[in-house]
Chains A and B, each alone.
Chain A
């Protein structure tokens, strides 16, 4: 693909402006408060294809300077300070030079903020940006730990950190390793090199998908599994741990990934399956047994004894995050005062609940709690142009997780909740060992995708009760075209939508691979539904059709 050339701004249109007849009062008002939603024309700010901005959005004085000071500057400064805090600039520089997924992805991270926060004002802007800040901080912590322990960056030497780090599949919950949090650290193998990169820079992952196909894998298996395996093919995983704990979650594709991983990682590996039909009581017993075996494996391999005290301490701390999440959902479900946009809600929830208890989540939740309380007490509606309250179901396109920001700006579609946010929804009892293990087992079974998407048809159809619970009038139905499991229930959903008279828009995508169904195509499908079925006019027509094919 040919790179578009950098263009100087076109100033010829300035000559055509009739300065005498300009409405200066309106101009001053727009300068001070920002343009009203219907007049913003956000699409005019984009450069052709790249998605870069001719200039960033003017949101009025207060919100523009909030964005500049408290988001752009604040996050650039904190990215540097986080790197220094977590093992230093030298470690980062070595990792950046060695690994494509960090160099290509994490430098343009502020553009990821831009895409998620487009058009946001006031409390929505503030609360959503805090969620992004937490994810950036935790991402830096994880890759810095990987690099500090990495034999590839340390002349082949296994240092102390290497012996004290547990590697695990990104689909194994970080909670499993709470019993060792004070002595060891756990870092998921694929969460940063694969999952987070897709959201920040959609170009990076394509290298890994292509690498896997170059050694003979057909193109149609789940691209998540292809990409995770492809990172091995390009020898692009750090070697930061003596062991690996893998999972079959979400599906058989992940089992295939584990086989490739076992080959290339070449270290003691414990496969800890998470059951699919988790309603069966016998399955609970089996699942608990698997967790306990995994704990024995960690004890044996890392030489550090299991600590129930640490498990309880971190689980109780994490329970506080879950309780606050449930409070947020109450506000989202029953009021118009919920200040978090769809993409911030979805990414933050899946990230922290999969990752487990970390100080940054508590820090950010304290900020968000203040904003949430302010919205509720003062009855502030952070999304005043909402026309439809949307629930998004099944697995989302990673390369276009910010579709909800676009959909709100263009059509007033406000994505209130999504399927993956609802997993891990259990406050684990810690009063007795038996209670804790019962709940902890269920917690492990209610992982992303497993809880609903691969948990049996009864669970995937929890959509209907959650649609009612969150007071939504529309469904955004994700259609991961390479997910064989979800393909199997496509027709059942079609029937149910028809029978229940529900407005549902199907959104085809190939998870991380933007080449299969482009972002432009996704927007076109939503536009078509909104015009032909809903007979509605866009709030911002400049966002209907634009080319961002080369955008991050």
Chain B
């Protein structure tokens, strides 16, 4: 078998294997389980621990900007 034929055979095997693997992930909802049990809790912990600006200290200045009224 020529080199290209061998490469093609290997490529097809890999492609079929990958397709089967992805189908298993899809069918058994492994993406959902990974996201629910691992990714979301990890990200939520990160967001909970994140230092945040205290927006309540923002000054509410009534006259900082003009009243935008045009040609009434």
Question: A residues near B, CB below 8 A?
Answer: 3, 6, 50, 52-56, 68, 72-73, 97, 100, 103-104, 107-108, 110-111, 114, 203, 215, 232-235, 262-264, 266-270, 289, 292-293, 296-297, 300, 552
Contacts and interface: CB of A to CB of B under 8 A. Distances in A.
B51 to A, nearest CB: 10
Contacts of A235: 52-53, 55
A108 B40 contact: yes
Contacts of A264: 55, 58
Interface in B3-29: 22-23, 26-29
A377 to B, nearest CB: 32
Contacts of A266: 58, 64
A292 B58 CA distance: 32
Chain B binding surface, main DSSP class:
helix
Contacts, number: 88
Interface in B37-61: 37, 39-41, 43-44, 46-47, 52-53, 55-56, 58, 60
In this complex, the interface size class of chain B, counting residues with CB under 8 Å from chain A, is 20 to 34
B55 A232 contact: yes
Contacts of B37: 3, 6
A396 B4 CA distance: 58
A299 B47 CA distance: 38
B71 A296 contact: yes
A527 B53 CA distance: 47
27 contacts: A3-B41, A6-B33, A6-B37, A52-B29, A53-B29, A55-B27, A56-B26, A56-B29, A100-B44, A103-B46, A103-B47, A104-B40, A104-B44, A104-B47, A107-B39, A107-B43, A108-B35, A110-B31, A111-B35, A114-B32, A203-B40, A235-B53, A262-B60, A268-B68, A292-B71, A293-B68, A296-B71
Nearest to B53: A235
A68 B56 CA distance: 48
Contacts of B31: 110
B64 to A, nearest CB: 8
A107 B47 contact: no
Given A108-B40, A268-B65, A53 B23 contact: no
A52 B68 contact: no
Given A3-B41, A56-B26, A108-B40, A297 B68 contact: yes
* Residue among B46, B56, B68, B70 with the highest chain A CB neighbour number at 10 A: B68
Nearest to B64: A266
A55 B55 contact: no
Contacts of B39: 107
B27 A56 contact: yes
Contact of B32 (A52, A68, A103): A52
Contacts of A215: 56
A339 to B, nearest CB: 23
Given A235-B55, A263-B60, A73 B22 contact: yes
Nearest to B60: A263
Nearest to B47: A100
Contacts of B43: 100, 103-104, 107
A269 B46 contact: no
Contacts of B56: 215, 233
B23 to A, nearest CB: 6
A296 B70 CA distance: 7
A297 B29 contact: no
B56 to A, nearest CB: 7
B29 A270 contact: no
A97 B46 CA distance: 8
A111 B60 CA distance: 42
* Residue among B40, B53, B65 with the highest chain A CB neighbour number at 10 A: B40
A114 B26 CA distance: 11
Contacts of A293: 68-72
Contacts of A268: 65, 68
A53 B27 CA distance: 9
B47 to A, nearest CB: 4
Given A56-B28, A100-B43, 8 more contacts: A100-B44, A232-B55, A233-B56, A235-B52, A264-B58, A266-B58, A269-B68, A293-B70
